[in-house]
Amino acid sequence: MKSQYLITLCFVLTLPFPLSSTTNSYESSCHKKKFPALYVFGDSLIDCGNNNHLPSGGADYLPYGIDFMGGNTPTGRATNGKTVADFLAMHLGLPFVHPYLDLTNHQRNKIRTGINYASGGSGILPDTNNVTSLTLDKQIKFFHRTVKHNLHKMFNEKEKMEKHLSESLFFVSTGVNDYFHNGTFRGNKNLSLFLLNEFTLRIQRIYDLGARKFFVNNIPPAGCFPSKAIRERPRGNCDEKINKAISFYNRRLPEVLHELQSLLPGFSFVHADLFGFFKELRETGKSYGKKKSQMANQRAFESF
Ligand SMILES: *[C@@H]1O[C@H](CO)[C@@H](O)[C@H](O)[C@H]1NC(C)=O
Ligand SMILES: *[C@@H]1O[C@H](CO)[C@@H](O)[C@H](O)[C@H]1NC(C)=O
Ligand SMILES: *[C@@H]1O[C@H](CO)[C@@H](O)[C@H](O)[C@H]1NC(C)=O
């Protein structure tokens, strides 16, 4: 996960948001504190412990977390190490973002550097894994609570809070789980169009609560996830039917975001090609030091 994608992040982050200084080198753009906070919404790519608080459980057992800061303890992240959100926080000079459900109300009243609402298994739609994960609607509801109860108190003045929110970065990475019902692929063009529309409505809701700067991942190539590729012939090939449906969504996502930009005053976004990154990683994995295109635990990719 480390190198290429994040270098792209740093590079890309300098483009749409104006830098306050005249320097635009990679180093300064990556280590400068331009964003007061990072708020995170999405699925297991970036969940960092919310699901541990759900009855169905989360990534709360080994080998999850074995490489996280040398701790060798599960951190609630569906990975051996850091998530993209962790790397993003590091590169922005922010502390790791805490999962909303880990925090007491007292702690929520004090955190000015962002909160993570993401939940493994969740999607864009309210009926996607709505028992075992926090739906995007629920995540937005929790963010609403943060704004109304915690940030409001912290900033005293409404203008100061609005400034904070408008300068913060909102990272959204979701959608892959909507293509599966109980593990079975259910995608078609209609679903993709429907998802794009539903996604837009929810981005708009986050905007309405004060967010202005968005960092949006497209959907990764789920057809290449080991749980799918293992069933292909020849074994290990990507399921292109799945990838095709996801590509249909991905091709239109930037247009949809541009439409939002023309519609909503102050809205700006970075669109990141997670799909392309995963495809490239699959093809050139060895150069990243990756030995096998397999993940440690079936659950990690079943509810991505
Ligand atoms: C949860 O999903 C099921 C279908 O999977 C749906 O019938 C139900 O209405 C959903 N619940 C909510 C609160 O959206
Ligand atoms: C979901 O899948 C599991 C096992 O794959 C099966 O036992 C269960 O009946 C399925 N549930 C639905 C609602 O299809
Ligand atoms: C897609 O939606 C259209 C109407 O919007 C409908 O006529 C068509 O049957 C749908 N196709 C699928 C595969 O669901």
Q: What CATH number did the domain enclosing 44 receive?
A: 3.40.50.1110
198 within domain boundaries? yes
Query: Is residue 111 situated within a structural domain?
Result: yes
Amino acid (one-letter) located at 281 = L
Instruction: Please write the tens of the pLDDT for every residue from 216-234.
Output: 999 999 999 888 888 888 8
Query: Is residue 19 a part of any domain in this protein?
Result: no
Residue 66 counted as domain residue: yes
Residue 33 binned pLDDT confidence (cut-offs 50, 70, 90): low
**Would residue 64 count as lying in a domain?**
yes
Ligand 2 test: best mutation among 182, 184, 299, most atoms within 8 Å of CB? 182
Assess whether pLDDT exceeds 90 at residue 61: no
**For the whole model, what pTM was predicted?**
0.85
Residue recorded with tokens 């090609």:
273
Residue 38 corresponds to which tokens in the numbers above?
Answer: 């990072």
Q: How far apart are CA 86 and CA 5, in angstroms?
A: 13
Q: Name the residue of 56, 122, 125, 130 whose CB sits within 8 Å of the most ligand 1 atoms, as the mutation to test its pocket.
A: 130
The tokens for 9 are 């992040």
Number of domains in the chain: 1
- Residue 279 or residue 98, greater confidence: 98
Show Cβ contacts of residue 282 under 8 Å, excluding neighbours closer than 6 positions: 221, 224, 238, 293
User: What gap in Å lies between CA 282 and CA 221, rounded to an integer?
Assistant: 10
CA distances, 189 to each of 43, 177, 274 (Å) = 22, 16, 20
Distance CA 176, CA 173 (A): 9
